[in-house]
Amino acid sequence: MKKVLSLILCGILFTAIIPLSSCKKQTIRELNVYNWEDYIACEDFDMVAEFEAWHEKTYGEKIVVNYSTFGTNENMYNELKLTQKGDSFSYDLVCPSEYMIQKMIIEGMCEEFDYSQLENYTKNVAPYIQDLFVKNDWYKYATCFNWGTMGFTYYPVNDEGKGVEYDDVSSWSVVTNTKYANKITIKDSVRDSYVLALGNVNGQKLLDLQNQPNFDELSTEYNKQVHELLNDFSDESIEKSRVFLTETRKNLYGFEVDSGKQDMATGKLWINFAWSGDAVYAMDLAEEEGTFLEYVVPKEGSNIFFDGWVMPKGADKELAQRFLNFMYDEANAIENLDYICYSSPIVGEQVFEYVSENYGLTTLIEVPQPTGDELEDLVFVGDKYYKEVPLALDPNFSGQSTYSLTYYDEESGEIVTDDPIEIYAHNVKHFFGDKISGDGIIYTDSLNRQLVAMYPTAETMNRCVIMEHLETADLKKLNNMWDSVKVGYMKYSTMLIIVIVAVVVLALLTTLYILKKKGVRIILPKKHLGKLVKSERIK
């Protein structure tokens, strides 16, 4: 009987414990992401919030993304090292640039990717990017997030003769041209500005490569030789670069990292050494004010860069790869492309359509009366419907060199056909590859604006190279060179502030001296409220 009563009591206690255990607070998984500032869609489309919602809907699990940002690769690397515990780091995903990725791989800091969990990446990544990562053996530990070239954003000569000549800015030597004194900025970055310096120091050698008999600007051998000349870290080249940059400094408005695109858009600068994504941003910004900027990769050759995602040791690989797979969805990649203006490695029909409509020429064509949701994207004038389409889809266009575009004039409320303009066919097939079905032609009215900055020609890409990761000794030499270049450099605005502060301090000290001579003591209470007190001189 006692045994029966005991079993009944245990059953009662067990049923009482069940609801208590269900009240225990469940732990919410967290994903720690470390990325560049302003480097992810976060306004009309909030990538982080959208992923959290998508994850809960898809996997039935609520998660939190802790998203933080850094300003330089070195800051990111130091933060990782400071928060390291054993072999693990405090972030699940970080987004370094190519040279820092190489460094982190060499130091064994990264987890390997499982590409079966990154279907959107393998399905949508551009063949060029895929080959680049496989060739350099980075693909095991890194995926590409954005990429681009380095060149000059510039203010082209306008009708009044004001601005920069294309022949001048198409060479690295433009930074020494006194016609543009105090109208040029270069990067406050040793690695980027060293490429600019080598473009000058080895400029003639780079051009001589193009003057060889039977020269093929798409050949692998040519790219290899450009790579060697723009990755020359010999003592001789570093010293020549130091001399060049020190002398060039006199012709510059200054050094900058992020302010250049704003200064170009406002007309404060005429030439800015820029990453292509920043160039596109500046062109978009200036265009809103009716100013048209352009971008060029110097003829000698340049740097091609990328920023990529890596999973530091100890990362939650499952959540990290889900986040990346979500971002690599073609529609989501377009959201990032639209927000940050840097070229995405993700390609496909949707991306091609987006680029064609936003950066290629478009025109209105008449269409039959539609039904349903199709009305939202149409213009209705008179009794006719018109649709805006890329120029290539206009049945009246057959690839001629000039054409009259049709558009809707909001002021008159009429459909207007503009005067003929020059038309250029820009092919992006070399980058999109078989991810698109067509010929890859996008028509533009300029070969030096957003479209070509985002997707340079195959020839331009072949004269651009990755800058290698440097071993400690070479990096120290390069940093010492840069320190020497920067010694004594000061912006005019900074100099003015220092002069003003110096004058104020001098005036204050003079006043104190005079008061002291007159026997006035200055008492500073704890709250630092100065009080003048008259005292008798000590005789």
Per-residue pLDDT, 306? 96
Residue 15 lies in a domain: no
Q: Is the pLDDT of residue 493 over 60?
A: no
Cα–Cα distance list, 538 to 356, 519, 535 (Å): 86, 9, 9
Per-residue pLDDT, 182? 96
Tens digits of residue pLDDT in 102-136 = 999 999 999 999 999 999 999 999 999 999 999 98
The two three-digit tokens of residue 268, written as one number: 């404060």
Confirm if 295 and 449 have CB atoms less than 8 A apart: yes
508 and 377 within one domain: no
Residue 8 lies in a domain: no
Tens digits of residue pLDDT in 86-97 = 999 999 999 999
Instruction: Pick the last residue of a domain from 422, 456, 474.
Output: 422
249 and 153 within one domain: yes
Per-residue pLDDT, 534? 37
277 and 221 within one domain: yes
Residue 3 lies in a domain: no
479 and 407 within one domain: no
366 and 331 within one domain: no
Residue 58 lies in a domain: yes
Cα–Cα distance list, 161 to 158, 166, 173, 174, 191 (Å): 5, 13, 21, 18, 35
Residue 432 lies in a domain: no
Residue 436 lies in a domain: no
The two three-digit tokens of residue 110, written as one number: 């990264």
- The 8-class DSSP code of residue 330 comes to H
232 and 205 within one domain: yes
Average pLDDT, whole number, for the chain? 89
Rounded mean pLDDT, 335-359: 96
Per-residue pLDDT, 5? 44
Q: Is the pLDDT of residue 141 over 50?
A: yes
Residue 510 belongs to what domain range?
A: 498-534
Task: Tell me the residue type at 486.
Answer: K
234 and 300 within one domain: yes
Rounded mean pLDDT, 471-484: 93
Rounded mean pLDDT, 178-207: 96
Supply the pTM of this predicted model: 0.83
375 and 385 within one domain: yes
104 and 191 within one domain: no
Residue 459 lies in a domain: yes
Q: What share of the chain is helix, strand, coil (3-state, %, to 5)?
A: 45, 20, 35
Angle between helices 472-486 and 190-201 (to 10 degrees): 80
pLDDT band at residue 490, thresholds of 50, 70 and 90? very low
153 and 200 within one domain: yes
Q: Is the pLDDT of residue 374 over 90?
A: no
97 and 68 within one domain: yes
Residue 128 lies in a domain: yes
Q: Of 113, 153, 66, whose CA–CA distance to 311 is shortest?
A: 113
Confirm if 324 and 344 have CB atoms less than 8 A apart: no
d(CA 167, CA 165): 6
108 and 54 within one domain: yes
pLDDT band at residue 10, thresholds of 50, 70 and 90? very low
Q: Of 105, 95, 108, 174, whose CA–CA distance to 136 is shortest?
A: 105
201: left (phi over 0), alpha (psi -120 to 50) or beta: alpha
Confirm if 283 and 523 have CB atoms less than 8 A apart: no
Q: Is the pLDDT of residue 17 over 60?
A: no
pLDDT band at residue 522, thresholds of 50, 70 and 90? low
- Structural domains of the chain, count: 4
pLDDT band at residue 56, thresholds of 50, 70 and 90? very high
Q: What is the CATH number of the domain that holds 142?
A: 3.40.190.10
Calculate the dihedral angle through the C-alpha atoms of 209, 168, 478, 305, rounding to the nearest 10 degrees. Answer: -70
pLDDT band at residue 499, thresholds of 50, 70 and 90? low
